[in-house]
Amino acid sequence: MNAQEHVIYVHGLWMSGGEGLLLRHRLARELGATVHAFAYSAVTHGMEEISEQLRRFVAAIDPPRVHFVGHSLGGLVIYRFLERFPAQPPGRVVFLGSPCVASRAAVQASQSRFVSALMGRSVAEELLTPRERRWRFDRPLGIIAGSYSFGFGQFLAGFEEDSDGTVAVSETRLPGASDHIVVPVSHLGMLVSVRVARETARFLRYGHFSLA
């Protein structure tokens, strides 16, 4: 890769993009690409508005080639964006701990009126009802799931399977994805993991992960 290539990092719920600074730095170093952070409010905006904001963000960069990396809800932002605006410059996509089907932790948290209000419109639209999603877009998708169960979601969902403490491994699987791996990291831990950064960079460069 080179400076003509761009990577856009899309954060998750209640994040700002700053939490992915170390990951973005590592991707820029590994790939020699320009890495951007797209910020949005999942609480005050629905997916239609957020995807339009991302469209404008990409258009302002006007990259000849662009890759997307989405952490948690950020993966679904990318999914909805490409669903609405598929005519984008070529590139690849990596999801990090993204709940591609309904999130059990989010469903349980939504039972609290206070927490439900904090979760906002986009979570209600995307995570509280099971979705039959499939990756149909003309760009390879790699998915990294975590198996270190450390996080508040573990107590909410009571996972009886491998999870990253917030999202179960089974919830990250999306038909049509090019590759899927499980790494022993937590939901937030994957953002500071050297291994996750290297696997993300490898997929963006080659279209597959190195791990079996």
Architecture of domain 5-206: 3-Layer(aba) Sandwich (3.40)
Whether this model's pTM surpasses 0.85: yes
Please list the residues that pair with 70 across neighbouring strands.
Answer: 10, 95
HSE, CB side, 13 Å, CA atoms: give it for residue 104: 20
Distance in angstroms between the alpha carbons of the first and the last residue of the chain:
24
d(CA 182, CA 81): 25
Residues in the chain, how many?
A: 212
| Host H or E run for residue 37 | strand 34-38
Q: How many C-beta atoms lie closer than 10 Å to residue 84's C-beta?
A: 13
- What DSSP line would sit under 55-99, residue for residue? HHHHHHH--SEEEEEEETHHHHHHHHHHHH-----S--EEEES--
Cα–Cα distances (Å) from 56 to 49, 51, 75, in that order, read 11, 9, 18
Whether residue 204 contacts residue 27, with contact meaning beta carbons closer than 8 Å, is answered with yes
For position 112, what pLDDT does the model report?
Answer: 43
The first and second tokens of residue 112, run together, are: 């609290």
What does the block give as tokens for 7?
A: 């990577």
117: DSSP letter: H
Where residue 112 falls (left for φ over 0; alpha for ψ -120 to 50; beta otherwise) is: beta
Give the pLDDT of the chain (212 residues) as one tens digit per residue: 555 899 999 998 877 888 999 999 999 999 999 999 999 987 778 888 999 999 999 999 999 999 999 999 999 999 999 999 999 999 999 999 999 876 544 444 444 454 444 455 555 556 556 667 899 999 999 999 999 876 554 545 455 678 888 898 989 999 999 999 999 999 999 999 999 999 999 999 999 999 64
Instruction: Please report, for the chain, the start and end positions of each structural domain, with discontinuous segments joined by +.
Output: 5-206
Measured between alpha carbons, how far is residue 61 from residues 12, 15, 42, 89 in Å? 22, 22, 22, 11
